[in-house]
């Protein structure tokens, strides 16, 4: 109890001790767990683990040219695992714009499986996408440096129709593409260094930047 004196009036004020609630105080980690905020961290860890497993599986496969049926099945399964936890909602947005390097594909036409070995591309193959302009360019390097430019037409939030406009022999001689030179591509996974896409003919494409 304490006494406060104001002029000629004396007032007595009784102060009671503050009672603290019994029990253990919830720690920040416990609170975050209650609201499921730790699930994001676990998903990121799982995604990075699956991503590394996929990239490791691609080593020595020559972009898919040397892949056995067992290799293709395993890689397709790993790609599906990543597709289920795709971290990018707007896969056709600005994050898509980049010069992407082809790491793996099941496309026979790109791998040149029906061509003699000396006519297949030996060097890296790149795909440059300018999402804001709806343009794309596929570029072989050594030894032929062939290329093709295409226009993209969004179909939905992850799929585009592809219209090939001009082929380039040795990146120098332009050849207008026939109107029938069309395709489709769905971006199924996208992060800051890896992209997975699937073509309208069922082919799988895995690219890095």
Backbone angles phi, psi at 199, to 5 degrees: -85, 170
pLDDT of amino acid 205: 98
The 3-state DSSP class for residue 206 equals strand
Does residue 134 register a pLDDT over 90? yes
Give the tens place of pLDDT for each residue, 23-35: 444 444 333 333 3
The answer to whether 91 and 158 are in contact (CB under 8 A) is: yes
**What is the chain's mean pLDDT, rounded?**
86
Q: Which two tokens stand for residue 44?
A: 């990121």
pLDDT exceeding 90 applies to what percent of the chain?
Answer: 79
Residue 176: pLDDT band by 50, 70, 90 thresholds? Answer: very high
The answer to whether 149 and 165 are in contact (CB under 8 A) is: yes
CA-to-CA distance for 127 and 160, rounded, in angstroms?
Answer: 15
Determine if the peptide bond prior to 5 is cis (ω within 30°).
no
CA-to-CA distance for 54 and 88, rounded, in angstroms?
Answer: 18
Q: What is the mean pLDDT of residues 115-131?
A: 95
Residue 96: pLDDT band by 50, 70, 90 thresholds? Answer: very high
The 3-state DSSP class for residue 25 equals coil
The 3-state DSSP class for residue 142 equals coil
Tell me how far the alpha carbon of residue 41 is from its chain's centroid: 17
Q: What is the mean pLDDT of residues 118-135?
A: 96
CA-wise closest residue to 122 among 138, 143, 107: 143
pLDDT of amino acid 40: 80
Residue 142: pLDDT band by 50, 70, 90 thresholds? Answer: very high
pLDDT of amino acid 10: 41
Lowest-pLDDT choice from 4-13, 36-45, 57-66, 134-143: 4-13
3-state DSSP of 45-77? HHHHHHHHHHHHHHCCCHHHCCCCHHHHHHHHH
Q: What is the pTM of this model?
A: 0.80
End-to-end CA distance of the chain: 73
Q: Where are the alpha helices (DSSP H) in 103-184?
A: 108-111
140-to-64, 146, 178, 182, 208 alpha-carbon distances in Å: 16, 5, 20, 19, 15
Other beta carbons within 10 angstroms of residue 83's beta carbon come to 14
Host H or E run for residue 159 = strand 159-169
pLDDT of amino acid 41: 87
Residue 149: pLDDT band by 50, 70, 90 thresholds? Answer: very high
For the chain, what's the residue count? Answer: 209
């Amino acid at each position: 109890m304490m006494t406060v004196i104001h002029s000629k009036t004396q007032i007595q004020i009784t102060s009671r001790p503050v009672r603290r609630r019994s029990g253990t105080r919830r720690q920040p980690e416990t609170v975050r767990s209650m609201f499921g905020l730790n699930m994001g961290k676990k998903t990121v860890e799982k995604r990075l683990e699956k991503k590394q497993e996929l990239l490791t599986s691609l080593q020595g496969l020559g972009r898919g040219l040397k892949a056995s049926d067992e290799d293709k099945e395993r890689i397709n399964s790993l790609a599906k695992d990543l597709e289920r936890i795709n971290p990018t909602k707007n896969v056709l947005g600005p994050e898509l714009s980049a010069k992407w390097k082809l790491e793996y594909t099941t496309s026979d036409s790109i791998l040149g499986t029906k061509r003699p070995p000396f006519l297949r591309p030996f060097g890296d193959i790149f795909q440059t996408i300018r999402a804001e302009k709806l343009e794309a360019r596929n570029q072989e390097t050594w030894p032929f440096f062939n290329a093709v430019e295409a226009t993209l037409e969004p179909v939905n939030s992850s799929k585009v129709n592809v219209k090939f406009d001009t082929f380039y022999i040795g990146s120098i001689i332009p050849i207008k593409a026939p109107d029938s030179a069309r395709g489709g591509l769905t971006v199924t996974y996208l992060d800051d260094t890896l992209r997975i896409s699937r073509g309208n003919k069922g082919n799988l494409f895995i690219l890095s930047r």
